[in-house]
Every structure is written in C-alpha cells, then in structure tokens.
Structure 1
Amino acid sequence: MKFLGDMGISPRTIALLREQGYDAIHLIEENLEKMTDQNILDKARQEERILLTVDLDFAQLLAISGDSLPSVILS
C-alpha cells in the first residue's frame, strides 16, 4: 500500500508507516505545503496512494467529483 500524508497528519505517522514497510510520503517532504486540496487528490490518484487527512473537505470533493479514487482515510 502507498500513502500520502496531508498537512494535518504528523510526519511521525508517515515515518511509522515506513518503519512497517509501507511506501509513505508527506506533503512537507515533497515541499508541497501550499498545494490545493484538488491537486492533493489528483496527486494521490496519479500515484495510486491512499490519502491520510483530518480535512473533511476531501471527502466532499471526492463525493462531488463522482470519482471512486483515491481512497481517503479521515482520522
């Protein structure tokens, strides 16, 4: 599984996922802190990553778009 951590997710969480063998990146590591929510969804979709976030806007954006990907986990 591949994960993308949004700004509300601790970089430590991403590090823990990596320690468990997952392919996980954080927006901060990619210097993408200013990326729009739609572009974050697009990045997750293009890279086939599960988006980890605390931002409820992502669920709404995904529902409005009618897309089934990417998967979004709200914590």
Structure 2
Amino acid sequence: MKILVDMNLSPRWADYLKEAGLEAAHWSTLGPPNASDREIMAYASSEGYVVLTHDLDFSSILAATQGGWPSVVQVRSDDVSPKAIGSPVFRAIRQMEAELTEGALITVDPGRVRLRLLPLRR
C-alpha cells in the first residue's frame, strides 16, 4: 500500500511511515505545493495512493462525489505530529489495510478510530 501525505502534515510523516515499513511520499515531493485537494485526490487515485491528511475537505469531496477511491485516512488531533499520534495511525492503517485497498475513509482520533466504507452514502 502506498500512502500520500498531504501538505497539511509534516514531511516527517512520510519518513515515519517508511521506517514502519510502508511506502509513503509527501505531496511536496510529488506535485506543486499549491495544488487543490481535488488535484491531490485525482493524483492519488490515478497512482494508487491512500491519502493521509488532517484536512476535512477530502472526506467532503468523497461525500459530494460519492467516490469509491482513493481511500483517505484523516488525523483528528490537536497535535498531528507522528510522535504524538503516529502509533494509532499506523495501527489503523495496518488493521484496516483490506478496507483501505477496497475504498474507505478512516478517521483516527487520539482515543478512537472510525471506519466508513466508500462510497459514502448520505
């Protein structure tokens, strides 16, 4: 599984995920820093990436388009550094790898993880 780390998260996330055994890249190494969320979603979809973000716009795009891919992992925490919430994020990605491969929205809070399968229904 390939993880695309959104611009609103530190490039340290890509390093953290690589050290944990995942293939990961920060958007700053793949495309323009001013790319829209839709552009990032389109790239992730065409290249087979799961998006890791702190931005709620990605789930809004999935809901509005009823898209089935790419999968999105949202980090919802005051401290979004890998040091603070990296372990729960990594565990969620590993535990829900099958769902992410098929199409899912995962939200990781410090105290819980929520999973919604794609496409999102109203």
Q: TM-score, normalised by structure 2?
A: 0.58
- Aligned residue number for residue 54 of structure 2: 54
Q: Return the structure number with greater relative CO, CA threshold 8 A, min gap 6.
A: 1
**Percentage identity across paired residues of the two chains:** 37
Two-structure CA RMSD over aligned residues (Å): 1.0
Between structures 1 and 2, the one with greater helix share? 2
Is there any run of 5+ residues in structure 1 with no aligned partner, and where?
none
Q: Given the two structures, how large is their TM-score scaled by the length of structure 1?
A: 0.91
Using the TM superposition, give the Cα deviation of residue 40 of structure 1 relative to its aligned residue in structure 2, in angstroms. Answer: 0.5
Distance between the aligned counterparts of 1:47 and 1:21, measured in 2? 19
Written as runs of structure 1 = structure 2, the 5 A alignment for 1:1-75 is: 1-75=1-75
Over residues 22-52 of structure 1, what are the superposed CA-to-partner deviations in whole Å (9 max), with x where a residue is unaligned? 1111111224211111010001111111100
Q: Distance in 1 between matches of 2:36 and 2:47?
A: 16
Q: Distance in 2 between matches of 1:65 and 1:21?
A: 32
Secondary structure (helix, strand or coil) at the match of 2:59 reads helix
Counterpart secondary structure, 1:25 = strand
Bigger Cα Rg: 2
